[in-house]
Amino acid sequence: MDRMDPLGKLRSQFNIPTRNGQELVYLTGNSLGCQPKQVREDIERELADWAQLGVLGHEQARDPWFSYHEQFRVPLAAIVGAKPSEVVAMNTLTVNLHLLMVSFYRPTRERYKIVIEDSAFPSDSYAVASQTRFHGFSADDAVIRLKPREGEHTLRTSDIEAAIEREGKQIALVMLGGVNYLTGQFFEMERITACARQQGCVVGWDLAHAAGSVPVRLHEWGVDFAAWCSYKYLNAGPGAVAGAFVHDRHAREDLPRFEGWWGNDPAERFSMGREFVPKPDADAWQLSNPPILSMTPLKGSLAIFQAVGMEALRRKSLALTGYMEELLTERCGERVQLVSPADPSQRGGHLSLVVDGADQTLLSKLIEADIIVDFREPNVIRAAPAPSYVSFQDVWRFVDVLAGLLEHA
């Protein structure tokens, strides 16, 4: 399978973490993607331009810092299915969620609730709860947490729709993760977006585990806003600059917004006027001049996505997770159960597994055997075969080691 894999050669563009000179089986690209080799050269170039040019680099660097973020519009738009004017690289994920909620969570006494998954990532839970409290509501009342049915791990789309329809008039915002970080469920975003908008709710998506992993079409689906980080499947390094999407139907609306000079129209930015003239697109949500050095890795990482395209990556991702599932069934049987949906089209880039007796000790033994996966209490292992650098042989090695450990447990 590796020999026939059209994306097999991509791996050589990444630094795969090693131990004693051996490449690890790296299945945690959903936490921190591997480093594209291009990154070092790109960062050194910025360091050289800074050393050489100082402040003149804003205009004269090889990629002038004044407009530096603009180069990411086209590649980011392709990844999330947006128009270039609808996306911007800025800040970090939770910051962007808050900034976007300032504009898009505008509760009234009647319509003030926010819908999230019960298993939402903690930061998202804190963000929405604190937003409701900021507006004077009680988070216990204002945050609706969607739970799977008794005995099920993931949410049924029809149950999500029913919940939105039931409380529709009270819901201000539906904000789910495109792919749930814990279960790997890839929500039926188009259906859920349409249902929520029909009820008059605003719809935002957290694409932390979706951006660069599954194809989405934010513009076409009519999503109001979205945000994502760039260090997971987008491989742009720890704390890399995140992304945000604002649908262009909002570009010229008079929305409340926290403003800063980088959201000002660039023609006005250095005129130092008192008046904020928002750029009529996603750029208007920027506050500060961008952190060039933590933005630079996006160049090399997004170039790979541009060259390969989301469709090809998704195809390989499905092949990898499908192969993993097949091997797990064959080698581990009942001792490993799938938490992720059985339907591959409703799965993101990782599989979540309930492993019999899994604990920190099992995780340590996996790491000793050069298998890097992650473990969530009480007994869930998440394995993410990122399609840009994980091979079918890696998947085989993971299952082989796991099956061996479970046999001798």
Q: Whole-number minimum distance, CB 76 to ligand PLP, in Å?
A: 16
Q: Whole-number minimum distance, CB 208 to ligand PLP, in Å?
A: 3
Pick between residue 35 and residue 94 the one whose CB is nearest to ligand PLP.
Answer: 94
Q: Whole-number minimum distance, CB 238 to ligand PLP, in Å?
A: 10
Distance between CA atoms of residues 75 and 33, nearest Å: 18
Pick between residue 210 and residue 395 the one whose CB is nearest to ligand PLP.
Answer: 210
Q: Whole-number minimum distance, CB 179 to ligand PLP, in Å?
A: 9
Q: Which residues of this chain interact with ligand PLP, rule CB under 6 A?
A: 92-94, 121, 123-124, 177, 181, 206, 208-209, 229
Q: Whole-number minimum distance, CB 393 to ligand PLP, in Å?
A: 28
Closest CA to 238 of 71, 68, 33, 97: 33
Pick between residue 208 and residue 216 the one whose CB is nearest to ligand PLP.
Answer: 208
CB 289 within 8 A of CB 31: no
Pick between residue 13 and residue 94 the one whose CB is nearest to ligand PLP.
Answer: 94
Pick between residue 50 and residue 126 the one whose CB is nearest to ligand PLP.
Answer: 126
Q: Whole-number minimum distance, CB 228 to ligand PLP, in Å?
A: 9
Distance between CA atoms of residues 409 and 407, nearest Å: 6
Between the alpha carbon of residue 378 and those of residues 113, 230, 246, 349, 356, the distances in Å are 30, 28, 37, 22, 10
Phi-psi region of 370 (alpha: psi -120 to 50; beta: other; left: phi over 0): left
Rg of the chain over CA atoms, in angstroms? 22
Is the preceding peptide bond at 378 cis, omega within 30 degrees of 0? yes
Pick between residue 291 and residue 322 the one whose CB is nearest to ligand PLP.
Answer: 291
CB 317 within 8 A of CB 350: no
End-to-end CA distance of the chain: 31
CB 113 within 8 A of CB 274: no
Q: What is the DSSP letter of 214?
A: S
Q: Whole-number minimum distance, CB 236 to ligand PLP, in Å?
A: 11
Pick between residue 183 and residue 388 the one whose CB is nearest to ligand PLP.
Answer: 183
Instruction: Centre a 10 Å sphere on the Cβ of residue 273 and count the other Cβ atoms it contains.
Output: 10
Question: Which residues pair with residue 113 across a beta bridge?
Answer: 171
Distance between CA atoms of residues 296 and 247, nearest Å: 26
Closest CA to 180 of 221, 113, 122, 129: 122
Q: Whole-number minimum distance, CB 321 to ligand PLP, in Å?
A: 18
Phi-psi region of 322 (alpha: psi -120 to 50; beta: other; left: phi over 0): alpha
Pick between residue 122 and residue 151 the one whose CB is nearest to ligand PLP.
Answer: 122
